[in-house]
Structure 1
Amino acid sequence: MTSTVQIIIGFILLIAGGEGLVRGASSIALRLGIPSIVVGLTIMALGTSAPELAVSIKASMSGNPEIAMGNIIGSNIFNILFILGLSSLIIPLKINLSIIKKEIPFLIFITFLFYGFLWDQKLAKYEAVFLIGLCISYTYLLVKNALKETKGKELNEGVKPSLLINSILILVGLVSVIYGAKFLVLGTSEVARSLGVSETIIGLTIVACGTSLPEVIASVMAAIRGKGDLAIGNVVGSNLYNILAIGGVSGVVTESALVVSNELVRIDFPVMLGATIICYPLFRSDRTLTRPEGVILVILFISYLSFRYSIS
């Protein structure tokens, strides 16, 4: 199978899977009385981060830490600057107050913590285990609070199709985006290697953008359908799980500490940190991510890519 065919198949699976994912997740949220923001922060975020998890684990176990860590950092930059920017260009995104008060401050804290762990250019085993523990605790508290908020509320039985059908839509959607990302990454990576691009750049750009395409499709589809909470929640949740779950697991599966380059720590991590911090003032302004702000985010991402390739 040629790289071109792999790329085409990847796009088809991603688009179809993203549509099913958004339809199923939003319908289940409405039917069960669960806020769509919680569904976006958990089900969609975990599901669309599966490609990053698979790639980073494989890279860590095969002795390619630059791809593993570059994938995490590059994906988080891509998610905030490109996906949120693109989604807000389709329709201005209304920001849930919970995102501003809870999730964004927590994401900023986690990003600073991760930066501190990697300042010495390695992620120790105990640090990786700590990240996984935080991931489990965060997910538990999020779901617990959501169930507490919906306790006593009647299920919306009038929402169709059924819970079973929506669950199948989510499952098929997740499988589609995972395999779609796999085909796309295989195809684009083959092209990149033929052009002599370094492993670090492949991890930061080709692999990161490729594995983040499920987030692109899911968030864009959510924006098109007017589900801004799902679009925002998907990106914020994915970035949290990229650091906590993927970073943690990648550090655990290596034989020793996960070693990363000085280049990633001194150049790319500050960009990820800056992109994360900028979300707070943007989200607080009228609690809406506007089209002009979306344009700025996309321009920042293109500028970062241009700079990164110029110094590689």
Structure 2
Amino acid sequence: MLMVVSAILLAAIGGASFLKGMLAVSSWLRLPKLLVATTIAAFATSGPEMAVSSLAAIAGKPGIGLGDALGSNVVNLGLILGIALLFGPMAICVAQCRRDFMLALIVPPLTFILALDGMLSRVEGMLFLTLFTLWLILVVKQAIGHRRHTPADPAIQSGIARAWILLVVGMAALLVAGKLFVSGASSIALAMGLHPYVIGATVVAVGTSMPELVTVVLARWRGHDDVGLGTILGSNLFNGLAVIGVAATIHPIAVPFGEVAPALAFGVITLLLLFSRRSTISPWRGALLIAAYSAFVLFTAAGAL
């Protein structure tokens, strides 16, 4: 319990530092906050999933990384965005989010199709990495185009060293907080007699998603809706393409279809609940997202019995 409390306190401090540094870095790079959140913030906050997946694949157990990545995506959309929306309507720019949203919607069905034979091979892992690389190229082209039309601010340039320090220190604190949370909460869950897979898909997934949780909630609290949404979409693309792609490339993944099916299904359901043609997402969708996440946990627990 002490580990869990310590993790929450450390996450709050680290999250404030990370968000402040990221906003300053986005101004220094002369890029929209949404774009920086979708890339730098999302990749940084998905560091735990990449570490878990890669180490598990090297150890010959890539399925652990698969479960963590898929579970984290449902946590990101169902639990984290669900909580964030309870603060009030979330402003979005539909035009800027459309590309990332559509790709995030395609990834779970693609994973489902490739996993029908019970295996994600190295070739299929490289396919995921290729899609991720193509998406990243589009993002970089967008960033270059935006910088050409945005003048530099001398005042921001002078404080960039402090901004990077805040970003790095904040991210380090979030990663340590996630590790503490996983260790503490896993011990509590094991003591309660929960199934190991349930612990992995829920407790571990929440722990490795703690950087996203803190970043999104703080961003909403301080009025940076685009940062919260961008972080979640980018993180889900990173998990679904890069994390799983790296794991499968290192070691083919045997896919226990009955266990991963709920994560894939609820990954699509939560994305569809998030979809909006308007410039805001209503708070009532937050309640639906949390309900969907709760259903995912119940289905996961039932499948492990």
TM category, shorter: over 0.9
Alignment of 1:11-22 (within 5 A): 11-22=8-19
Aligned partners of 1:251 and 1:258 also within 8 Å? yes
Alignment of 1:122-137 (within 5 A): 122-137=119-134
User: How many aligned positions are there?
Assistant: 304
Distance 1:73 1:119, change over 3 A: same
For residue 219 of structure 1, report the CA deviation from its aligned partner: 0.5
**Separation (CA, whole Å) in 2 of partners of 1:292 and 1:274:** 15
Alignment of 1:168 with 2:128, yes or no, is no
Counterpart selection for 2:31 from 30, 34, 46? 34
In the alignment, what sits opposite 1:278? 273
**Separation (CA, whole Å) in 2 of partners of 1:24 and 1:291:** 28
**Separation (CA, whole Å) in 2 of partners of 1:279 and 1:219:** 15
Counterpart selection for 1:184 from 181, 185, 189? 181
Alignment of 1:53-64 (within 5 A): 53-64=50-61
Counterpart selection for 1:224 from 221, 225, 235? 221
For residues 86-123 of structure 1, the C-alpha deviation after alignment (integer angstroms, 9 at most, x for no partner) is: 11112321112234421111111222222222222211
Alignment of 1:198-277 (within 5 A): 198-254=195-251, 257-277=252-272
156-165 vs 84-93, which moves further: 156-165
Counterpart selection for 1:296 from 281, 288, 291? 288
Counterpart selection for 1:25 from 19, 22, 25? 22
Moved over 4 A (4+): none
Structure 1 unaligned blocks of 5 or more: none
Q: Find the residue that maps to 1:175 and give its secondary structure.
A: helix
Aligned AA for 2:283? R
For residue 15 of structure 1, report the CA deviation from its aligned partner: 1.5
Q: Find the residue that maps to 1:90 and give its secondary structure.
A: coil
Alignment of 1:154 with 2:151, yes or no, is yes
What's the RMSD between the two structures over aligned residues?
A: 1.9
Aligned partners of 2:62 and 2:248 also within 8 Å? no
Distance 1:91 1:186, change over 3 A: same
The alignment's TM-score, normalised by the length of structure 2, stands at 0.93
For residue 239 of structure 1, report the CA deviation from its aligned partner: 0.3
Tell me the percent identity: 27
Aligned partners of 1:24 and 1:166 also within 8 Å? yes
In the alignment, what sits opposite 1:45? 42
**Separation (CA, whole Å) in 1 of partners of 2:200 and 2:61:** 10
Alignment of 1:308 with 2:274, yes or no, is no
For residue 161 of structure 1, report the CA deviation from its aligned partner: 7.3
In the alignment, what sits opposite 2:102? 105
Q: Find the residue that maps to 2:155 and give its secondary structure.
A: coil
